[in-house]
Amino acid sequence: MSDGKSGPAAKAAALGDVSGKLAEMIASLQKSRESLARAAGPALTPVPQPSAAPVRPIPAGDEAAPLRERIEELEADRRASGDEIVWLQGQIAHTAGLFATLRRLHEAADRDDVLDGLAEAVVSIVGCERFAILLVEGEALRPLRTMGITEERAARLAEVLHAHATAGKRLVGAEARAVDLSLTAIVPLAARGEVAGAIAMEALLPQRGVLGSSDDEVMTLLGLHGALAWLAAPEAKGGR
């Protein structure tokens, strides 16, 4: 992944280490509390169990300072572990999205089904409901699937994008807008040195943020595996 961290497996291992450390610290904290309780006498006993432990006031005095420090350390570790878990869940969902897209494309029964798979990924994984999927036919690009845009607009996009798409250049954000003001991204469908077509995306869904590094991975996958699936799939019964 491109978030400056290692892969999910490494993260899971790191999280395992953190959990181990946390368990050691809890055990050590428990021991400290027990010895502190023994030293202070009956006023501090019984020692609460870690599971359902209500927060008890920490006794004032020098002997409690190390305990407070340990609790603060433990709290900081707990927060860090929480952040790691949230990050890992995000990575799992992202990876699951990539896998589902990949499997959907390569399980496609024919070229129509490949187009359906691409459209599903653009809507549900990228978050865009205004797009055209354009495929090379002879010397031209033809819009074979569109959503949220008119036929005229799709035909116009096919003309405008021909040079960029057939050059296999992926353009995102300002680069895409430089080609056509309404575009958010142009993703060429290219594999084995052959350009099969392109996906032209206009506005993203309102709840979507801007395209980020995880979207790069989705677009790379769509561009390569969309093309591979398209080139490998048999023509649909209708002739495509």
Partner 1 sequence: MNRKKILCVDDSATVLMLEKMLLSRQQYEIVTARDGSEGVEQARAHRPDLILMDVVMPKMDGFEAVRRIRADEALKGVPVIMVTTRGEPVSMEQGYAAGCSDYVTKPIDGMELLTKVKSHIGEAEAGA
Query: In the numeric block, which tokens belong to residue 102?
Result: 């990949």
**How many other CB atoms are there within 10 angstroms of residue 110's CB atom?**
15
Nearer to partner 1, 46 or 209 (CB): 209
Quote the CA–CA distance of 183 and 18 in Å, as a whole number: 44
5 scored as a contact of partner 1 (CB under 8 A): no
223 scored as a contact of partner 1 (CB under 8 A): no
Q: Which stretch binds partner 1 (CB under 8 A): 14-22, 49-57, 206-214, 229-237?
A: 206-214
Q: Which of 114, 121, 186, 201 binds partner 1 (CB under 8 A)?
A: 121
CB 202 within 8 A of CB 184: yes
Phi then psi for 4, rounded to 5 degrees? Answer: 75, 10
Q: Find where tokens 């250049």 sit.
A: 169
Q: Which of 23, 92, 140, 167 binds partner 1 (CB under 8 A)?
A: 92
Nearer to partner 1, 115 or 136 (CB): 115
168 scored as a contact of partner 1 (CB under 8 A): no
Q: Find where tokens 């707990």 sit.
A: 78
Site string for partner 1, 34-63 (x = CB under 8 A): ------------------------------
- Return the closest-CA partner of residue 80 out of 69, 91, 90, 88: 88
Cβ burial of 121 (10 Å; 0-12, 13-18, 19+) is buried
16 scored as a contact of partner 1 (CB under 8 A): no
212 scored as a contact of partner 1 (CB under 8 A): no
In which element (H, E) is residue 185 found?
strand 185-191
Provide the minimum distance between the beta carbon of 127 and partner 1 in the complex, in angstroms, as a whole number.
4
125 scored as a contact of partner 1 (CB under 8 A): yes
Binding site for partner 1 (CB under 8 A): 86, 89-90, 92-94, 96-97, 99-101, 103-104, 107, 117, 120-121, 123-127, 129, 205-208
